[in-house]
Structure 1
Amino acid sequence: MSFIKKGFLGLALLALAACDVPVETSAPLPEASSGQASQSQLSARAAARQFVDVVETVEPVAERECRARAPGMNCDFRIVIDDRPGQPVNAYQTLDKTGQPILAFTIAMIADVRNADELAFVMGHEAAHHIEGHIARQQRNAQTGALVFAGLAALTGADAQVLQNVGEIGAQVGARTYSKDYELEADILGTVITKKAGYNPVRGAAFFSRIPDPGDRFLGTHPPNAQRIEVVRQTASQL
């Protein structure tokens, strides 16, 4: 992964531009609004500069929001580019071994967003996952699911291998139980972060209209796109 953090911003910009990032998407592109070109009109270098600009603007806002909402939490976000070959359009939040929060963006994601608002919203959303403590909460849910399923299997006299298999299934079910709620929580707080950073979260949430809709599947990990867009609209209207 290519790291982007403070003094490394310019270096990362050049590295990304050198990758000759494609900027077309499979979906039809809307006309650019006045004063801001659509991402399809940006060169790889321009797309990289846009990413750096958004990082420099959103990161300090996200860190202030983190410190205000979660005192004692590590709020020193590190933004990275996941430049592994063949990675799809994606952004995700994780933690390193020291507990520092990592916000990762694939090159395909940086190339796919059509404007700075979309990129800022995705960045705010991923930062919100950390601020809301979703990784730890999901891990607790997984542990609970594993214990419940394994406990039920033990009552039937299942052997050790069956107990292990059932426990793994329970962990998966437990981890997914509240995942849709977590996504909506991140959308709400991500809207706040995006707005405070000076971007338009409603315009940013238009990103959801171009990605596959997960619908409302049982134990699905993400809520329907229309629901997410509406949550952003409602939150933005109250700011």
Structure 2
Amino acid sequence: MRRLSGLLLPVLLAACSAPVAMPPPAAPGDVLTPEQAARNFVTVVQRVEPVAEQVCRQKSIVANCDFQIAIDDRPDQQANAFQTVDDSGRPYLVFTLPLIAQAKNQDELAFVLGHEASHHIAGHLARQDQSAMTGAMVAAAIASAGGADPEAVRAAQDFGAEIGARTYSKEFELEADALGAQIAYRAGYDPVVGMAFFDRLPDPGDEFLGTHPAMAQRKAVVQQVTEQLKAGAGS
């Protein structure tokens, strides 16, 4: 989650005037060509975005559910995706080109897209801002009461804001994993297969004040939610 900055390339899904030949999907485990990676991404956006918007409206936590999917095509970016909002409050789900290229299948892209959409649906960005503001105010008040000079108060305020922003970050990630799994599943994808994308990332463990929970914990949440969804579909 972050605030919108820099230039982004919107994903255009309008129909072309003439059909365009698309490359065949890659077999599991294959290295995707750029064309296959692009095909996967566009297909996932077309299938997952409407589901995410529907879930967003059903939850009724945030006012704006009109997702804009965008690509951060700046050079030297790492594989990453994030959720943000513009000045009008419209939600953006942003993918870097390396993430699109490194995803091995549509399930992985669908889970990442559902996860990032869930941050907005659950109102995490606003809740994070409020927590940071509270942390900043408390830290500044304590520093002032202790007789700190203005510069030290500002430093305490910055530190308090950072601590406050991280207070619920692990909880937010697990919430987004659970809801993201539901979104991906409703769009026709397998969240457990999609979660495999994170197996290729460093495991943050369960660090004190870390921003992400341990990978095993995240995988367990996705596995549990998926099993419940499948059981419900079969009943």
- Checking the alignment, whether the CA contact within 8 Å between 1:179 and 1:221 is kept in structure 2 is yes
Deviation at 1:209, TM superposition (A): 1.3
Q: 40, 45, 53: which is aligned to 1:63?
A: 53
1 CA distance for matches of 2:142 and 2:32?
56
Q: Cα RMSD over matched residues?
A: 1.8
Q: Which runs of 5+ in 1 are unaligned?
A: 18-34
Q: Which runs of 5+ in 2 are unaligned?
A: 1-7, 230-235
Give 3-state SS (helix, strand or coil) of 2:83's partner.
Answer: strand
Q: Matches of residues 120-139 of structure 1 in structure 2 within 5 Å?
A: 120-139=110-129
Q: 138, 146, 152: which is aligned to 2:136?
A: 146
- Structure 1 segments of 4 or more deviating over 4 A? none
- Checking the alignment, whether the CA contact within 8 Å between 1:39 and 1:113 is kept in structure 2 is no
2 CA distance for matches of 1:227 and 1:41?
29
2 CA distance for matches of 1:175 and 1:159?
24
1:27 maps to none
Paired residues, what number? 216
- Checking the alignment, whether the CA contact within 8 Å between 1:39 and 1:111 is kept in structure 2 is no
Q: 163, 177, 181: which is aligned to 2:153?
A: 163
Q: Does 1:6 align with 2:13?
A: yes
Residues 2 and 39 of structure 1: CA distance in aligned 2, closer, same or farther (over 3 Å): farther
Deviation at 1:46, TM superposition (A): 1.2
Q: 17, 36, 56: which is aligned to 1:46?
A: 36
CA deviation map 1:85-118 (0-9, x unaligned):
0010000000011100000000000011111000
1:97 maps to 87
Residue type of the partner of 1:6?
L
Deviation at 1:183, TM superposition (A): 0.2
Give 3-state SS (helix, strand or coil) of 2:206's partner.
Answer: coil
- Checking the alignment, whether the CA contact within 8 Å between 1:39 and 1:112 is kept in structure 2 is no
2 CA distance for matches of 1:128 and 1:233?
17
Percent identity for Structure 1 against Structure 2: 53
Q: 222, 226, 232: which is aligned to 2:212?
A: 222
Deviation at 1:38, TM superposition (A): 3.2
2:63 maps to 73
Structure 2-normalised TM-score? 0.88
Give 3-state SS (helix, strand or coil) of 1:145's partner.
Answer: helix
2 CA distance for matches of 1:65 and 1:47?
26
- Checking the alignment, whether the CA contact within 8 Å between 2:26 and 2:36 is kept in structure 1 is no
Structure 1-normalised TM-score? 0.87
Residue type of the partner of 1:159?
D
Residue type of the partner of 1:81?
I
- Checking the alignment, whether the CA contact within 8 Å between 1:39 and 1:47 is kept in structure 2 is no
- Checking the alignment, whether the CA contact within 8 Å between 1:47 and 1:111 is kept in structure 2 is yes
Residue type of the partner of 1:204?
G
- Checking the alignment, whether the CA contact within 8 Å between 1:202 and 1:236 is kept in structure 2 is yes
Deviation at 1:71, TM superposition (A): 5.9
Give 3-state SS (helix, strand or coil) of 2:78's partner.
Answer: coil
CA deviation map 1:144-171 (0-9, x unaligned):
0001111111111111111111000000
Residue type of the partner of 2:118?
A
Residues 72 and 223 of structure 1: CA distance in aligned 2, closer, same or farther (over 3 Å): closer
Residue type of the partner of 2:215?
N
Residues 209 and 72 of structure 1: CA distance in aligned 2, closer, same or farther (over 3 Å): closer
Give 3-state SS (helix, strand or coil) of 2:120's partner.
Answer: helix
1:195 maps to 185
